[in-house]
């Protein structure tokens, strides 16, 4: 019998260190309790330097950064935009804020990210598309050499949603540097957090200045409130920026902890019919934000999912994400299903979906995959129990 955790073991929660409070206090003491201040200036410079993008603007969240990226990319009502299919809805919702139509692109199996072959096929079907939004799933970069080449062939603008992949690398370059416009997030569950917050990065100084203006209600320089363009209240608070500033000193440490967790799962599952979320070792170093697992086809028991609930029929030696997530929850540990692909979402059911194969890769990964507790405060003994819970499902 596997014991219950007394204290819940989480998927991914904030991990504070003390410096966050120091910089928040500084904002308070100097009265920069606003969307202007030293913390904002410091993190914009720091993130630009770290990622290798010349300019950046700190915003209220990753979603607002994505919205401004979509506007900068010139998306107009009715336009089609190629988007990652298996991701959080925040990657694609901003396309719809601008009344454009997402076209969802299936994933490949080597990184679970947008499949270059499917993207190529999508350009054959929709040659007029001018914007591509790619998310780096669970901290693993997409195949940017191929994706950028295809975008260049079609004069399309690339937007990189690096909300989950801050600190990850592809061929020696940092995630958040591959698009013309790039987005990171400081949401509470990300690798570092501000409790909320996000950032837009680009080498194009004019674009970043435009985004900065839009994010502060689009005021023109005039002696009164003068407006020529639609504005938004999307700027980051200097208090939040203090949290981000403190956390930024620990990004490397957080990544190292996440990698230890990933490697321990890999070792623990060695003799189980399970593989972890894959990456290409020669080309990339993920930030290992979430450890995820995929159950071999032959070891899947029958699992039924309706729009809002799931059931399964137990078979010895076999399991499924529903059983494993139920067992984890019973033991007071938090797992999650893989992001349900956007083309399977009721809100997006009428949008086109392009796959390079007859069977959608993402439907299969969603069916057989799940996210494991990946909290960096999880102790080794606790992770060993999580591994035993998963093992017990295949008994």
Ligand X SMILES: *Cc1c(COP(=O)(O)O)cnc(C)c1O
Note whether 35 binds ligand X by CB under 6 A: no
Residue closer to ligand X (CB basis): 81 or 90: 90
| Min dist. Cβ of residue 364 to ligand X (A) | 20
295-307: b or e for each residue (b if 16 or more CB lie within 10 Å)?
beeebbbebebee
| Min dist. Cβ of residue 185 to ligand X (A) | 3
Interatomic CA distance for residues 182 and 165, integer angstroms: 11
- Segment 50 to 79, residues that bind ligand X, using CB under 6 A: 61-63
The correct pick among 87, 238, 287, 374 for binding ligand X (CB under 6 A) is 87
Note whether 168 binds ligand X by CB under 6 A: no
Note whether 176 binds ligand X by CB under 6 A: no
Residue closer to ligand X (CB basis): 66 or 118: 66
Note whether 378 binds ligand X by CB under 6 A: no
Q: What is the number of the residue whose Cβ is closest to ligand X? A: 62
Going by DSSP bridges, is the β-strand pair 369-371/336-337 parallel, antiparallel, or unpaired? antiparallel
Token pair of 305, please?
């999912």
Residue closer to ligand X (CB basis): 198 or 341: 198
Could you give the C-alpha distances from 134 to 207, 235, 280, 306, 356, in angstroms and in order?
A: 19, 23, 17, 28, 17
Nearest to 347 by CA among 101, 167, 107: 101
The correct pick among 187, 247, 248, 291 for binding ligand X (CB under 6 A) is 187
The correct pick among 48, 56, 111, 185 for binding ligand X (CB under 6 A) is 185
| Min dist. Cβ of residue 380 to ligand X (A) | 27
CA count, 13 A, side-chain hemisphere, 315 = 11
What is the sign, positive or negative, of the torsion defined by CA atoms of 268, 258, 86, 304? positive
- Segment 246 to 275, residues that bind ligand X, using CB under 6 A: none
The correct pick among 51, 58, 90, 158 for binding ligand X (CB under 6 A) is 90
Token pair of 170, please?
């592809």
| Min dist. Cβ of residue 242 to ligand X (A) | 17
* Number of residues in contact with ligand X under rule CB under 6 A: 14
Nearest to 98 by CA among 131, 57, 139: 131
Cβ atoms of 52 and 173 closer than 8 Å: yes
Binding region for ligand X (CB under 6 A): 61-63, 87-88, 90-91, 135, 161, 163-164, 185, 187, 198
């Amino acid at each position: 019998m596997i014991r219950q955790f007394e204290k819940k073991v989480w998927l991914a929660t904030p991990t504070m260190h003390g410096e966050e409070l120091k910089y928040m206090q500084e904002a308070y003491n100097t009265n920069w309790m606003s969307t202007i201040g030293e913390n904002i200036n410091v993190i914009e410079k720091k993130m630009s330097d770290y990622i290798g993008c010349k300019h950046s603007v700190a915003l209220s969240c990753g979603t607002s950064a994505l919205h401004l990226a979509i506007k900068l990319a010139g998306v107009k009502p009715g336009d089609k935009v190629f988007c990652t299919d298996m991701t959080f809805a925040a990657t694609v919702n901003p396309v719809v804020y601008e009344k454009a139509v997402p076209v969802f692109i299936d994933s490949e199996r080597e990184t679970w990210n947008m499949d270059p072959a499917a993207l190529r096929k999508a350009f054959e079907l929709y040659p007029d598309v001018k914007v591509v939004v790619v998310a780096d799933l669970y901290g693993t970069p997409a195949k940017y050499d191929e994706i950028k080449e295809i975008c260049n062939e079609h004069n399309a603008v690339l937007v990189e949603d690096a909300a989950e992949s801050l600190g990850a690398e592809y061929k020696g370059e940092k995630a958040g540097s591959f698009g013309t416009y790039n987005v990171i997030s400081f949401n509470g569950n990300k690798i570092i957090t501000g409790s909320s917050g996000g950032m837009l990065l680009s080498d194009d100084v004019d674009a970043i200045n435009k985004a900065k203006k839009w994010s502060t209600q689009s005021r023109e320089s005039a002696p009164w409130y003068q407006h020529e363009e639609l504005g938004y209240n999307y700027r980051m608070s200097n208090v939040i920026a203090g949290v981000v500033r403190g956390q930024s000193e620990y990004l490397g440490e957080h990544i190292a902890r996440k990698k230890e967790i990933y490697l321990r799962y890999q070792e623990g599952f060695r003799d189980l019919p399970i593989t972890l979320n894959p990456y290409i070792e020669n080309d990339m170093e993920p930030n290992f934000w979430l450890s995820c697992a995929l159950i071999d086809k032959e070891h899947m028991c029958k699992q039924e999912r309706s729009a809002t609930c799931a059931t399964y029929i137990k078979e010895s030696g076999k399991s499924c994400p529903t059983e494993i997530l139920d067992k984890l929850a019973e033991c007071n540990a938090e797992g999650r299903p893989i992001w349900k692909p956007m083309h399977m979402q009721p809100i997006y059911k009428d949008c086109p979906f392009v796959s390079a194969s007859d069977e959608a890769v993402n439907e299969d990964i969603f069916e057989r995959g799940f996210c494991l507790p990946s909290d960096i405060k999880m102790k080794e003994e606790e992770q060993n129990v999580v591994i035993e819970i998963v093992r017990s499902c295949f008994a």
